[in-house]
Structure 1
């Protein structure tokens, strides 16, 4: 049964989709649709294709070479004088950036759920964060890779149903949807939103997560077609969900001249237009997005740091779980500290902007290593597409760093 085989093969790609469809992405997509309608959908299409290109490479590395990206990085630089400074930079940026992302994910989910389900209050905000963190912590500490993968697949499916449901309920303009998807346009004051849409989709820590997950899931050339199909379909569906969120905001807010500053605002506006069901549907999607992202950021950090430091086998699992839980705990502390979620996200953007071009360049270098990948190195087309995405990532990184420093 081909359909059943496909379902069995879904895995690491779904982890990546779960990682980039978090509360931050939902908020950015909501603002894009509320402020500009359908015209910025092309940016999400580009970001989704770019993510598929790089994540396919990362999945191929794990499947064929049976190495995570952190492991390949350590082995490639083992004789370089830049080894430890570069390792330190990557570990610090990954840890700090993912802790900030974790705080943003938890804060975004709590704000959305509090506003939608019970009305905003300090108590509901705190309890939502602690509840999500407790479930995530138990899954990270006690769950095996396969158990965590299955949980994330369920959450991705749940998110898909919730956000597709709100898309259908909002009755979008399909002609405007198609035009915005395939006609690049930059309205006044839209550049920052375009950068944000790309930056919330092409995320460097997902490259570490995908290679390590593919290594755990697949072994060798025979599994490569399944790994590629998983990357294209899972990430493609994640990108489609993001487009549906933009379109829901465009149909429910932009077309009626209504404003919003978050997905929670959109949910409140949806209720009088389309009934309370739509509000709760969006609230459920936000909760699933927060929980899924709160799992993937700690996982990616633990994979990367464990592979880079390469501890002895008897303490490897302890270090892996300790790193993942510490990212979660730091994220909870930041989220409950009273710091504004937007300031937390700006810190994460800084780390993302600093790290993305470095990791993208190293991935391209690794994917041309014949000693590592044999005949499965990048061809001319893959290198050309990868170089194009790398150049965009450099521009994106510079823009995000300068924005974080308030230079632009």
Structure 2
């Protein structure tokens, strides 16, 4: 997982085509499974219950905004050969430290929920207490970073877990018999547009640390240079599509339950959906999906959050794996003390959405800074797409912060 240093003008491909795909898929799934955590499951279920078939429009909008954010971020990381915090410091001295602070704080908040979700998943599968399940899950995550080739182990683990999550959720979606036709129509012509839902979904999918997860992974593996851009773009879009598929099948599973007039338990919305849709077997399936979603998010959040501070000092760089392990241990201890309320998971997703305009705006400035990207010319259409995402997320994020977030705690 050691980074490969290359200049901004390097146009040589760093990997052969044959060896590329596993790594590109690994980066895509690291980003996707970082996004698909307990908060993802909770947010999707809560908003489906609130918006019914119209939630399809929110998903469609979020996928479009996600692609606009990810393509820009991953591309500039690859061209510059720098991590997000170093790019930010190149745009404005000191900005990288501020961005790193936001990312690490958000990543830690998310990881507390991720650890809790992993504990809950083990609780459902094996019947042990959530705290014991969380400790077991933390040990699994730590073991991956103790492996000699931790990068490859992380890639393979997230890919397998991602496929398992999607396959099992598809089974539950089919069982719940959702009104697919209505969902397709409302995805284009919704009954209502919920800005907080869009901000929360975008924040939970590409907000905070998640925006940089795959890009930093490719950078660590040496995938840099202009010639690598087609593969980088393919990997970034693949990651978004994986999260989109999971979001859609989970939405359909929940919609099937909601459309039958069944009551979803507010204490644990996603578990309620799986149980109502497929009975006792569905509840066990939920446990597996929750654990897979949570443990991969623990890995992604810890890896990416620490990647934002490791370049600030040589000792941080040389000991980054132990810092990742410490990050996981701290998250586990905090969960054991304060737990994981559903409202906090929704709130953290929304707050991560507020971070996105700052990080993406910084990347767009860097895209046209020759000191950072050299002779590379960033496509105008991609810049416009990125600006569109920044403007939309700034407006909707501000609206949500003023009008919607306070309602969560009334």
TM range (shorter): 0.7 to 0.9
| Rounded Cα–Cα distance in structure 2 between residues aligned with 1:338 and 1:174 | 39
- Equivalent residue number for residue 258 of structure 1: 263
Q: Distance in 2 between matches of 1:200 and 1:285?
A: 17
CA shift at 1:400, angstroms?
A: 4.9
Paired position in structure 2 for 1:317: 318
Mapped partners of 1:6, 1:316: distance in 2: 27
Question: Matched residues in 2 for 1:300 and 1:175: separation?
Answer: 39
Distance of 1:215 and 1:26 partners within structure 2: 29
Q: Is the 8 A contact 1:140 1:325 kept in 2?
A: yes
Q: Structure 1 length as normaliser, TM-score? A: 0.85
Deviation at 1:315, TM superposition (A): 5.5
- Residues 55, 231 of structure 1: 8 Å contact kept: yes
- Asked if structure 2 preserves the Cα contact closer than 8 Å seen for 1:34 and 1:260, the reply is no
Give the alignment of 1:27-42 within 5 angstroms: 27-42=42-57
1:336-382 deviation line (CA, Å, top 9, x unaligned): 11344246436735752553221121011112224433564332211
Question: What secondary structure, in the 3-state scheme, does the structure 2 residue paired with 1:200 have?
Answer: helix
- The 2-side partners of 1:347 and 1:177 are apart by 26
**1:117 maps to which residue?**
125
Give deviations 1:31-70, integer Å, cap 9, x for gaps. 2223332211111121122212221222212322222212
Q: CA deviation at 1:153?
A: 1.6
Count the aligned residue pairs.
Answer: 388
* 2:80 alignment counterpart: 65
Aligned partner of 1:278 in structure 2 is: 282
Aligned to 2:7: none
Which string of whole-angstrom CA distances, capped at 9 and with x for unpartnered residues, describes residues 145-195 of structure 1?
Answer: 2221222122212222222222223222221221132224417xx554444
Q: Is the contact made by 1:16 and 1:209 (CA closer than 8 Å) also made in structure 2?
A: yes
Q: Report the Cα offset of residue 323 of structure 1.
A: 3.1
The 5-angstrom pairing of residues 225-304 of structure 1 reads 225-261=230-266, 262-272=269-279, 276-304=280-308
Using structure 2 for the length normalisation, give the TM-score. Answer: 0.85
1:329 aligns with 2:335: no
2:106 aligned residue (97, 109, 122):
97
Structure 1's consecutive aligned runs of 4 or more residues displaced over 4 angstroms after TM superposition are 2-8, 403-408
- Aligned-partner SS, 1:377: coil
Alpha-carbon RMSD: 2.8
**Structure 1 residues 195 and 50, CA, compared in 2 at 3 Å: closer, same or farther?**
closer
Write the distance in 2 (CA, Å) between the matches of 1:376 and 1:170.
50
8 Å CA contact 2:169–2:250 kept in 1: the answer is: yes
**CA spacing shift, 1:75–1:191, aligned 2, 3 Å:** closer
* Residue segments in structure 1 that go unaligned for 5+ positions in a row: none
Q: Which deviates further from its counterpart, 67-76 or 38-47? A: 67-76
Gaps of 5+ in 2: 1-16
Q: Is the 8 A contact 1:206 1:300 kept in 2?
A: yes
Alignment match of 1:165 (pick from 171, 193, 197) = 171
Aligned mates of 1:8, 1:210 — CA distance in 2 = 10
Instruction: Show the 5 A alignment for 1:5-404.
Output: 6=21, 9-78=24-93, 83=94, 86-114=95-123, 116-117=124-125, 124-142=129-147, 143-186=149-192, 190-217=194-221, 218-261=223-266, 262-272=269-279, 276-307=280-311, 309=312, 311-312=313-314, 316-318=317-319, 320-342=320-342, 344-345=344-345, 348-349=348-349, 352=352, 355-374=355-374, 376-402=376-402, 403-404=404-405
Q: CA deviation at 1:395?
A: 2.6
- Quickly say closer, same or farther: Cα 1:73–1:194, change in 2 above 3 A: closer
